[in-house]
Amino acid sequence: MDDPSTRPWLADWRRRVAELYAEVRVVWPDHPDRAWERWRTEREGLYRHHPQSPVQPAERDGFRALHWPYDDRLAVEARMEPAAAAPAHAGLAAFPPLAPVEAPATRSAPLAPLSLPNSGGEALAFDRLGTVTLSLPGGDWTLGLFWLRGYAGGLFLPLGDATNGAETYGAGRYLLDTAKGADLGGDPSRSTLIVDLNFAFQPSCAFDPRWACPLAPPENRVTMRVEAGERLR
């Protein structure tokens, strides 16, 4: 993964994922199940055939993506609450902030970034934007919403649940990762995001530990089983 010759393929992977989610955003409002089926089949093709697939090469030919059936009750337009309005969560205290970057004299000093749990040695810097509230069968969930400071930046919404370590990756899955193109849309004027748990996917490190992935912090872990989205078994 440090070989510069692989970088164009990595760019191609991200391009294909972004194009796939662009298709999904067009179809999803009227036919979410059809959008999900397109997402499911295209991602399986990328896992099996793309040079930047996180699935190890020896396992790609026989790889088949596993998913729970689509459940339209698990798709919501979630409201975002900014960090100033969201209560601090003790769970993040376990991950001390990185040193703040010195700002020019003409600007106010930025907040120190957070270091979320990570599967590898490299810590990525995030800002805590606030929370999103998902109104789902059985009650409302409130999850932390983060912004990746590195490369292109982007919204990051991870999720941990009671399927982790059994049917899904032990450290959780991703709902949104807009830096990688995984974006179901939303309405900034109304401070909402589309969050569909049927599109929950495994981080790359679930397939190969050489990948370093940011993971769900304690505040983004729920005690129930989320039987939706990608599964490993």
Report pLDDT digits (tens) over 22-34.
Answer: 999 999 999 999 9
Burial of 152 (0-12, 13-18, 19+ CB in 10 A): exposed
Q: pLDDT by residue (tens digit) across 180-204?
A: 999 999 999 999 999 999 999 999 9
pLDDT of residue 123: 72
pTM of the predicted model as reported, rounded to 2 decimal places: 0.86
- 80-103: burial string, b at 16+ Cβ within 10 Å, e else: bbebeebeeeeebeebeeeeeeee
Q: How confident is the model at residue 103 (pLDDT cuts 50, 70, 90)?
A: very low
Q: How confident is the model at residue 151 (pLDDT cuts 50, 70, 90)?
A: low
Backbone φ, ψ for residue 60 (5° rounding)? -70, -45
Bridging pattern class, strands 154-159 and 173-177:
antiparallel
> What rounded mean pLDDT belongs to the chain?
87
